[in-house]
Amino acid sequence: MNGAVGIMDFRKKFLVPPGSKIKLADIDPAFTAKHASHETAMPEIARHVESLAKLQYKLYAESRRSLLIVLQGLDAAGKDGVIRHVISGTNPQGVNVTRFQRPTHEELAHDFLWRAHLHTPGRGEIMIFNRSYYEDVLVVRVHDIVPKAVWSTRYKRIREFEKLLGATDTHILKFYLHISPDEQLARFKERLDNPHRNWKIQDSDYTEREYWPAYITAFEDAMRKTTAPRAPWYVIPSNHKWFRDLAISSILIDTLEEMNLQIPKPSVDLKAIRLRYHSAKIEQKKDDRLKVLPGESKGHTEKSARQSKRVHAPKG
């Protein structure tokens, strides 16, 4: 499958190639390819959701490989929206989501990748990390929580971790949801104006905006130092939520199709099972006939029941 619009391949368009010197300022967060509006993109997004459901079924049935989706971005970039819209058609039995928040005391007592190891996907599963272990080279760096001598060595650990997952047939896709400061502020206003979204408001929404340049530098370094053929980073223009969903779903479909997923062959003798099925069906018919009173047809029994109701019906 090529890209979602024309022949554009979104994997090539938004990929952070190994060895590249990415500059987020050079990438337009409002980019929408050839689609002019949500309305023109909706049919394609709907087809993508349907295709993802079918591919996820194959992944789950095959139960040999897995997929880890990492979602990163600044506040209000749309991580929850991707999970809600792009993955909406998949079977919950084979898809899990882990949200990485402030580390607990137990998590802080272990190495920074410990909590990530706990939630890696099993064979046949899709796991989505809403934020991830990358917070340990982002937040801790921006806020000087740990020394540079500590966080700067973590890029290597992350590469090793992702290489380990790749060696066990876990495919990794990492998405940075790229929005502008103006778009972030517009989304903060939506949260203020909509009572159903007030709960999402945090003091940190505004205090963290002061660190925007530092976060951008930290994201650029993280992507540059950890993008790899088996664990690529993609920068997704996300000012338009619908285009974000279109691009990410297209990349997911292309990746899963390239895996050449196969429904496994039956582990039983189908011929023998069919014979057992037909035998069971014959027995069931016998049981159904025995439910009719001896000497009465089913129709006669139903007629008697109707007459009984008329006899005992109250008068007046």
* 316 residues of the chain, pLDDT tens digit each: 444 444 589 999 999 999 999 999 999 999 999 898 999 999 999 999 999 999 999 999 999 999 999 999 999 999 999 999 999 889 999 999 999 999 999 999 999 999 999 999 999 999 999 999 999 999 999 999 999 999 999 999 999 999 999 999 999 999 999 999 999 999 999 899 888 888 888 878 888 999 999 999 999 999 999 999 999 999 999 999 999 999 999 999 999 999 999 999 999 999 999 999 999 999 999 888 887 655 555 555 455 445 544 544 444 4
CA distance 3 to 254: 8
Query: pTM of the entire structure?
Result: 0.87
First to last CA, the chain: 73
Which pLDDT value is given to residue 203? 79
d(CA 250, CA 95): 18
Q: Which ranges of the chain does DSSP label H, i.e. alpha helix? A: 10-14, 38-62, 79-85, 105-108, 114-117, 139-142, 148-151, 154-167, 181-193, 204-207, 212-226, 241-258, 270-290, 298-311
Pairing, β 66-73 against β 233-237? unpaired
Q: How far apart are CA 220 and CA 283, in angstroms?
A: 68
CB of 30 closer than 8 Å to CB of 237: yes
Amino acid at 271: K
- Say which amino acid occupies 268: V
Calculate the CA dihedral of residues 174, 175, 181, 184 and round it to 10 degrees: -110
pLDDT on residue 316: 45
pLDDT on residue 280: 93
